[in-house]
Homo-oligomer: A and B are copies of this chain.
Amino acid sequence: MGKDRRMASSARKATAFQTADSRVPRYLQVASVLRRRIRDAQWAVGDRIATLEELEKEFNVARVTVRQAIELLQSEGLVKSYQGRGTFVTKTVESDRWMQLATDWESLIAPIRDHVPQVLPSEPRPVPRLEEDDGTPAPAYVFLRSIQKRAGKPYAYARVHIAKHLYAKASKQFSSRVALAVLSEIKGAAIARAHQTVVVGAADIEAARHLGISLNSPTAEARCVVSDKDGMVLYIGEITYPGDYVRLNIELIAQD
């Protein structure tokens, strides 16, 4: 016995990595760190990566566990191992993976003006979650759900509440275009304020299904609230993005 095994009883000794035991299989944890090193070009194509022995020590795991991680990368075609020589990077990971999240209204609207969302059957949803600062609710809302795709791959799962009286003005458009884009063009909608909150989250069962990612994998959850001059909330959009697509650029002090 005596050695540091994988123990479920969290009361047990600190295990590998000296970090909190996440109980994600170790070989997967190691694999994703290695994968990221390749993605970040810390190891470029053609480079020999660290030896099994070095990795064993760095991650404090058994040799077989490192091998398991490397076999995984090999099956992804990222590396190739040669007995007696080492393990070499053969391919790099896709890099243009960013979804730009908007920080002002125009850059929010412009890119999605002509998007065609895939509308999902709308389950009834009791009431939109409103927070203190959001404003006062409209008398009634319509609830829509949709998936946005890019190159056939889903990159956003949207749950949207639209004030019923605005929805009525262009109900057909709302089912074929992105709600915010439609909203921004409705004359009767005097948009006076729009704010967005972004948090790092984890995919729940719905998001995982619709985005084709695994349950609990990191996501960015954006919540966009649009209101009129009286503070009445016209639109609430909750949009979930896969975490590895999201990028936010913020000008803190703009260049002259």
Contacts and interface: CB of A to CB of B under 8 A. Distances in A.
B252 A103 contact: yes
A32 B29 CA distance: 18
Contacts of A103: 103, 250, 252
Interface residues of A, number: 67
A104 to B, nearest CB: 6
Given A59-B205, A194-B253, A218-B243, A248 B33 contact: no
A6 B74 CA distance: 14
Given A36-B204, A105-B252, A28 B17 contact: no
Chief secondary structure at chain A's binding surface: mixed
Given A20-B212, A24-B23, A36-B202, A197 B29 contact: no
A213 B194 CA distance: 34
A205 B16 CA distance: 11
Given A58-B205, A246-B200, A216 B22 contact: yes
B253 A192 contact: yes
B17 A209 contact: yes
A151 to B, nearest CB: 18
Given A59-B205, A193-B253, A253-B191, A23 B22 contact: no
Contact of A252 (B102, B204, B229): B102
Contacts of A169: none
A196 B36 contact: no
Nearest to A103: B250
A75 interface: yes
Contacts of A220: 200
Interface in A35-70: 36, 58-59
Contacts of A198: 247-248, 250
A4 interface: yes
Contacts of A72: 6
Given A193-B253, A201-B243, 10 more contacts: A19-B213, A19-B214, A20-B213, A22-B214, A23-B24, A24-B214, A33-B215, A195-B251, A200-B220, A224-B252
